[in-house]
Structure formats: structure tokens, C-alpha cells
Amino acid sequence: MKNSSKIISLVLALCMICAMSVTAFAADVETSGGSGSTPVNLSSTSDGTIGGTPAATAMSVTVPTAFPMAMAQNGDVTCATDCKIINNSYGAVRVKSVTINAANGWKLTAFGNKSTLASEKVDSNKFGFALTLGSGTQVKTKGTPVDSQTLIAAPTAGCYMSGVGNTSGNTIAVKYNAIVTPLSAPVTNANIANVIFVIEWDTAN
């Protein structure tokens, strides 16, 4: 009975060891000049261990936290010049789309020269917005006052970023500009809109 218990314990221990170890199967070559085929098997896991929890490559992209603007008393608008999108992921990504939504009673109107808004009533709360990603062309709001507009509907030039490690390609500059209707009272950090960036993997298909 003792021998049986020892055998069972040994078998259980071997089973545990096998469950924890990486199994490597051998391909026998039995003749001179013979060949053996060994498959290369890839698994993507959360911690990079063989047999770990299955997981895709992690995405990590930093977009600007704000687009600050200051309008002078003569209507000129000054914008930040250091905004950018940074790809911290191992894989390449792209900007799938960009949408701007007016906020807090403001309306989007066509972007252009500030003179186009000079005839508007003071405190009309309208503004035009323009955006350029990387080496891409400028996109801008247009048409009659609305609450929301899509500035970029699909990836185009300037929307692509390589993976982290390629410091010349994993970051794109974000340039923006605006025109704003006159104000009768000073404002500070008023949230007039939100820009929504949709980021996706730059896949091969």
C-alpha cells in the first residue's frame, strides 16, 4: 500500500512538472543526409511567457490634452505650436477619423479670414476651425453654423505613425487655427468645442 501511494505521488508530481514546463517535441533524423521539419509556433501573450494569457499587442497613443487659443482685441487668434500625437505602441498606427463637436452653446461655421465674421453680431458664439496633421493638407470647417463636423473621414497623408523606437516616424505634429466672433466680455479657458481623434492599428490589409 505504501509503494502504491509513493507511485501515485510520483505520477502526480510528474504531471505538475509537465504542466509547468515547455514541451519541445523532437524530430528524428534516422539516415545520413536526412532532414527533419520543425514548426515555429508563435503565441502572443500578455506577459510574453509561453503558455501565458492570450493577448494582442497593446496600443498606447497620446493625443493633445487641449487646444488652447487666445483671441486678441482685434480678432486675431493665437494657437499653440507644440501640439502632437505620439505613438507609444510597438505597432504602427493611423488616425482613422477626426470630428469636432461644438460645446456650451457655440456653433461651428466656415473657417477662413477673420473678416468673414466681422459682420456677425457680438456674442454670436460662432467659430471656424482648421486642422493639419503631420505632412497632410489642412482640413477646415465649412458651411452654415452646425454643432458637429467631420474633418477627416478616413486615413490620409499625415495620419500614419510608425511604432515606438522609430523616433522620426512615431510622432506627428498637430497644427490648428481658428476664427471667432467678437466677445463683449473677457473669457478664460472657455470650452467651446471638443476634437475627437479615432486611432486604429495601421494593418497590412
The mean pLDDT value for 186-191 works out to 97
Instruction: Kindly state whether residue 27 falls inside one of the protein's structural domains.
Output: no
Q: Indicate the pTM of the whole model.
A: 0.83
Instruction: Kindly state whether residue 26 falls inside one of the protein's structural domains.
Output: no
Percent of the chain with pLDDT over 70: 88
Of the candidate ranges 9-23, 82-96, 125-139, 143-157, the one whose mean pLDDT is the lowest: 9-23
> In the predicted model, is pLDDT for residue 186 greater than 90?
yes
The mean pLDDT value for 156-178 works out to 95
Instruction: Kindly state whether residue 30 falls inside one of the protein's structural domains.
Output: no
CA-based Rg of the chain, rounded to a whole angstrom?
A: 29
Instruction: Kindly state whether residue 28 falls inside one of the protein's structural domains.
Output: no
Domain that holds residue 65: 61-201
C-alpha cell of residue 150: 467631420
Domain count, the chain: 1
What is the 3-state composition of the chain as percent helix, strand, coil, each rounded to the nearest 5? 10, 30, 60
Q: Are 172 and 131 in contact (CB under 8 A)?
A: no
Is the pLDDT higher at 39 or at 205?
Answer: 39
Instruction: Kindly state whether residue 104 falls inside one of the protein's structural domains.
Output: yes
